[in-house]
């Protein structure tokens, strides 16, 4: 598992940019690292998150939701709506301390580097701490009840 400090050093923030390439990164919400998602929940953003489940169903991630998909499973149907925090061609979370690491890092000058960042963040979610936060989020928002489900611990 990557240390939070190591991830911040490896993936420093990019320069602010609102070019067409950088704005398209906001179509698909970037991922927080676990600690960032935890802070975002504490700041009151839990209801603007969605739950993403890996294709193998062995872990899940909390991410900013697609607009209209807040508080639910990530559904492809809503992917055309962009990130819930993307307003007037800008990120509402920019410079608040709650913008996901993946969003802060991705930039048109870093072509091809986003996948490395994404995979390292994925590793952080494949932990007991990451999956416990998913459970906490589901309890806090009533997600599990709304889905008529009991939480499954997908982490191994």
Per-residue pLDDT at 35: 96
Per-residue pLDDT at 156: 44
* pLDDT tens digits, 40-50: 999 999 999 99
Per-residue pLDDT at 146: 87
- The domain segmentation of the chain, as residue ranges, is 4-146
* pLDDT tens digits, 57-85: 999 999 999 999 999 999 999 999 999 99
64 forms beta bridges with 49
Residue-level length of the chain? 156
* pLDDT tens digits, 89-143: 899 999 999 999 999 998 888 888 889 999 999 999 999 999 999 999 999 999 9
Q: Tell me how crowded residue 11 is: count the other CB atoms within 10 A of its CB.
A: 22
The pTM for the full model equals: 0.89
d(CA 117, CA 13): 12
pLDDT score of 38 more than 90: yes
d(CA 26, CA 28): 5
Residue 112 to residues 104, 144, 156, Cα–Cα distance (Å): 15, 36, 30
pLDDT score of 152 more than 60: no
Give the single-character DSSP code of 52: E
């Amino acid at each position: 598992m990557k240390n939070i400090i190591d991830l911040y050093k490896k993936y420093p923030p990019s320069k602010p940019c609102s070019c067409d390439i950088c704005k398209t990164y906001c179509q698909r919400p970037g991922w927080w690292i676990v600690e960032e998602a935890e802070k975002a929940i504490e700041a009151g953003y839990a209801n603007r998150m969605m739950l993403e489940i890996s294709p193998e169903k062995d872990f899940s991630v909390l991410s900013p939701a697609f607009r209209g998909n807040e508080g639910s499973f990530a559904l492809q149907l809503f992917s055309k709506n962009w990130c819930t925090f993307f307003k007037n061609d800008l990120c509402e979370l920019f410079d608040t301390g709650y913008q996901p690491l993946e969003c802060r890092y991705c930039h048109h000058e870093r072509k091809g580097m986003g996948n490395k960042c994404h995979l390292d963040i994925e590793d952080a979610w494949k932990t007991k701490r990451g999956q416990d936060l998913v459970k906490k989020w589901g309890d806090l928002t009533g997600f599990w009840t709304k889905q008529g489900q009991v939480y499954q611990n997908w982490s191994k």
